[in-house]
Amino acid sequence: MHKPLRIIKDDARVRLTQQVNLTSAVRVALLTLPGQFSETELFERIAGISYLGDPRMILPAEHRGKVENIVRKQTPQFKELYHRLVTGLPGVHWPADSSNIEQDTAGHGRSAHLKKLPMNLLSRVRNHYASSPGFPSLESDEMMYWVRMAEDDGLADVLRQGG
């Protein structure tokens, strides 16, 4: 549900679930992108989330440029779907007339996105860092725990691997 789609039967529960899902995808994408990036990079990162665990993407049976093709052919729909969501998040600046996006990459700003990831993903990320030597525990200093995790250079790889 990260790509533009048409909902056939309007239902408030489906709309709410879709908004939560889209916002989670944006948070993951932002945590894996640098301070400045293009809307195309954002859309490809978001659309690519759907295919991270897909074994077909590893095999030669699937087109390697599938995600790029999806985004290229539906860029206006992606922008319509995500612009308001992205600009509503703290630390993100994306003028409506621009294709360039800037975000705060400081640990405090990124930790706000990190703490709001879906529970299953966040649990796997936390388990990954729990085994890291010298990493602070959540109980000892909660703020430092989240900031250190958000500032870690390897966080993007951890997220791409699903924790």
Average pLDDT score, the chain: 86
Contact 85, 18 (CB under 8 A): no
The domain spans of the chain are: 1-103, 106-163
| Paired tokens of 94 | 């994306």
DSSP type of residue 102? E
- 3-state SS, residue 100: strand
Tens of pLDDT, residues 144-155: 999 999 999 999
| Paired tokens of 132 | 């890291």
- State which H helix or E strand residue 28 sits in: helix 12-32
Instruction: Give the integer Cα–Cα distance in Å for 9 and 44.
Output: 27
Tens of pLDDT, residues 47-66: 988 776 655 656 666 667 88
